[in-house]
Structure 1
């Protein structure tokens, strides 16, 4: 998909929305590696074996199975997924110590 360049000025900052160019590839690769390194272990406490997962609220069988294995509901992301039916659904965030 090609996006025509659009320039926005908001609160003294300039934002440019455009399609990526081949010359952007190297910079984007470095940024992706940096982000992956920074976010790789965000779901784990230091020195603890903590695991998290996300599951769609309508997947009751999966939620029941995860609870059997000791996962607990930690929160709900409201209306964060839109599916092919055009409706919004909640995501259940679950976690447990290993």
Structure 2
């Protein structure tokens, strides 16, 4: 699905919230590798699960056509600095659900970009009739967990020793969900 672009005035920063176009594919591919290498909060290490520019072109096209999928980017001064994808489930028994994740370049943390991406995903999900939206987050990412709780997400489970980080230690993953605001 495609939504209208919005100009956002955040914490000491002005940026644009919009859906990506095929012209963004190469930049998104590079950004994803960069972000994956900046933090242990995401599932991948830099270069793992690589999405090429062609892969992103395909995703952008498919997401723009799908009713229950939303792909948004955050653009500062003509440069994409973060993105979110919310993917609706296509299986009949789970068609009421969607999952999403948010990635923001470390240099843009703390400017409220994640909050705005989250708010727009939730507004879209509610308007689309998605009854449940879920995500996973590493247990040590307490800022993200607090933000999600502020927007109605609850902890639904804990996957113990779910991931191993570069430090060789195991970490837990928190499963969180939010039901449609009716």
- Normalising by structure 2, report the TM-score: 0.30
1:63 Cα offset (Å): 0.3
Whole-angstrom CA distance in 2 between matches of 1:57 and 1:77 = 9
Alignment partner, residue 34 of structure 2: none
Alignment partner, residue 173 of structure 2: 91
Q: How many pairs does the alignment contain?
A: 60
Note if contact 1:44-1:51 (Cα within 8 Å) is conserved in structure 2. no
Among residues 25, 33, 51, which one is paired with 2:133 in the alignment? Answer: 51
Whole-angstrom CA distance in 1 between matches of 2:177 and 2:137 = 11
Q: Which runs of 5+ in 2 are unaligned?
A: 1-87, 98-128
The CA RMSD over aligned residues, in Å, is 2.4
Which structure 1 residue ranges, 4+ long, deviate > 2 Å from structure 2? 42-48
Q: Which runs of 5+ in 1 are unaligned?
A: 1-39
Give the structure with higher Rg (CA).
1
Note if contact 1:79-1:89 (Cα within 8 Å) is conserved in structure 2. yes
- Normalising by structure 1, report the TM-score: 0.53
**Secondary structure of 1:63's aligned partner:** helix
The structure with the largest helix share of the pair is: 2
